[in-house]
C-alpha cells in the first residue's frame, strides 16, 4: 500500500475518533453519576465538575475532571476516553497526574475508558525510576445489563458496545422505549443510537432503526457539534458540524449498507462542500425531511445549488 493511502486511512480514523470524543463527553456529562459509581464502585455524597484546562509548562486538556466528595474525604476523578491504540497513553496519564496535582494539590484517581476493538491499553507506566498506575475499563466487557438497568437513556445507548447479538440491540431499543416520554423522544434516542453505532463502526440492519423524520436540530448529537462550533467561535466549525449532521440524517433515513447508498453519500459530501453558508446547508437539511427516497433528495439538492 502506498504511503499516501496509509496516510489517508490514518487521517480518516483520526477524524472518526475526534468526532467520537465530544459525543462521548456530552453523554458522560449527562450520566456523570452513573459512571462515577461504575468507576469507583461507590456512591459519592457530591460530584463537582472541574475545568479541563490544566496549566503545567504547557496547557494540557484532560477529557473530564470531577471533584468527588465522600463523607470523610475528597479527591479528583480524571477520565480519558480511548477508541484507538495509543502507545503513549500511559505516559500521558503520568503527565496528567503530575499536572493535576500541581494545580489542585489533591489526590487523583485516574481511569481510561476503552471503547476500541481488541486489547485495551496497559494500566501502568514504568521506566527505570518511576511506576505509575491507573485504571483501564474495557467497556465491551462490562456486560449489557450494566447499561440496561440505568434510568438514564443516554447511558443505556452506550450499552451498544456490549451488544453481541441482534437480540441485545432489541433489548436496548425496548429499554429506550420504556424511558421515553413519547414517540418523539424515542425517535431522537434511536437517532443517537444510530450515530453512536456509526462512530464505533457497528453495523445495524436497516429494520432495526426505522426511518425517522424529525428535525435534526432537535437531535442531541447535532446540538453537541453545533454548540461546540459556537463556543469556539468558528463559523467553519459550525458549518462542518451541520454537514456531519446532514450526512448522519441521510445515512439514518436512507442508509442500509448498499453500495448505491455509499456512492450517493460520497456524491452528497461533494455537494455539501459547494454550499458556502449556513443558510444553504439548513435548506439542504430540510430536503431530507421531505424526500421520500435518496434519489429525490440528491436531485433536490443539485437543483437548489444550481439556482443559487
Q: Where are the domains of the chain?
A: 3-142, 143-256
**Per-residue pLDDT, 22:** 65
Q: Residue 132 forms beta bridges with which residues? A: 125
pTM of the model: 0.61
Cell numbers representing residue 58 in the block: 504547557
* pLDDT greater than 80 at residue 182: yes
The most confident of the ranges 22-36, 250-264, 285-299 is 285-299
Q: How confident is the model at residue 68 (pLDDT cuts 50, 70, 90)?
A: very high
* pLDDT greater than 90 at residue 221: no
Q: Residue 277's closest CA among 235, 245, 244, 246?
A: 235
Distance CA 235, CA 241 (A): 10
Ranking 138-152, 196-210, 218-232, 268-282 by mean pLDDT, the lowest is 218-232
* Number of Cβ within a 10 Å radius of residue 7: 10
**Per-residue pLDDT, 136:** 96
Q: Given CA atoms 230, 233, 235, 241 in this order, what sign does their dihedral have?
A: negative
Q: Residue 123's closest CA among 60, 39, 33?
A: 39
Average pLDDT of the chain is 78
**Per-residue pLDDT, 165:** 83
Residue 301 Cα distances to 89, 258, 267, 282, 287, angstroms: 43, 21, 11, 11, 7
Compute the average pLDDT of residues 182-187. 87
More confident residue, 270 or 259: 270
* pLDDT greater than 80 at residue 4: no
* pLDDT greater than 50 at residue 131: yes
Compute the average pLDDT of residues 189-213. 67
**Per-residue pLDDT, 37:** 83
Distance CA 67, CA 47 (A): 6
pLDDT in tens, 267-305: 888 888 888 778 888 888 888 777 778 888 888 888 888
**Per-residue pLDDT, 259:** 63
Backbone angles phi, psi at 2, to 5 degrees: -70, 160
Distance CA 301, CA 308 (A): 11
Amino acid at each position: 500500500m502506498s504511503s499516501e493511502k496509509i496516510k489517508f486511512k490514518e487521517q480518516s480514523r483520526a477524524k472518526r475518533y475526534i468526532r467520537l470524543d465530544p459525543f462521548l463527553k456530552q453523554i458522560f456529562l449527562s450520566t456523570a453519576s452513573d459512571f462515577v459509581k461504575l468507576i469507583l464502585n461507590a456512591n459519592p455524597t457530591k460530584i463537582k465538575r472541574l475545568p479541563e484546562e490544566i496549566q503545567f509548562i504547557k496547557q494540557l486538556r484532560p477529557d473530564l475532571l470531577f471533584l468527588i466528595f465522600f463523607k470523610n474525604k475528597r479527591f479528583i476523578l480524571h477520565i480519558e476516553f480511548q477508541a484507538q491504540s495509543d502507545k503513549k497513553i500511559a505516559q500521558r496519564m503520568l503527565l496528567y497526574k503530575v499536572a493535576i496535582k500541581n494545580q489542585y494539590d489533591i489526590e487523583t484517581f485516574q481511569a481510561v475508558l476503552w471503547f476500541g476493538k481488541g486489547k485495551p491499553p496497559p494500566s501502568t507506566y514504568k521506566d527505570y525510576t518511576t511506576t505509575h498506575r491507573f485504571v483501564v475499563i474495557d467497556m465491551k466487557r462490562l456486560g449489557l445489563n450494566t447499561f440496561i438497568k440505568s434510568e438514564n437513556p443516554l447511558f443505556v445507548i452506550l450499552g451498544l458496545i456490549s451488544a453481541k447479538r441482534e437480540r441485545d440491540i432489541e433489548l436496548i431499543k425496548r429499554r429506550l422505549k420504556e424511558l421515553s416520554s413519547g414517540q418523539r423522544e424515542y425517535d431522537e434516542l434511536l437517532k443517537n443510537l444510530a450515530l453512536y453505532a456509526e462512530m464505533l463502526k457497528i453495523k445495524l440492519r436497516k429494520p432495526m432503526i426505522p426511518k425517522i423524520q424529525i428535525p435534526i436540530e432537535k437531535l442531541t448529537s447535532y446540538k453537541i457539534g453545533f454548540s461546540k462550533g459556537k463556543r469556539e467561535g468558528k463559523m467553519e466549525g459550525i458549518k462542518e458540524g451541520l454537514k456531519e449532521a446532514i450526512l448522519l440524517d441521510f445515512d439514518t433515513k436512507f442508509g442500509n449498507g448498499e453500495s448505491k447508498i455509499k456512492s450517493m453519500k460520497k456524491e452528497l459530501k461533494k455537494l455539501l462542500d459547494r454550499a458556502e453558508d449556513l443558510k444553504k446547508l439548513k435548506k439542504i437539511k430540510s430536503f431530507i425531511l421531505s424526500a421520500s427516497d435518496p434519489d429525490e433528495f440528491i436531485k433536490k439538492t443539485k437543483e437548489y445549488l444550481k439556482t443559487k
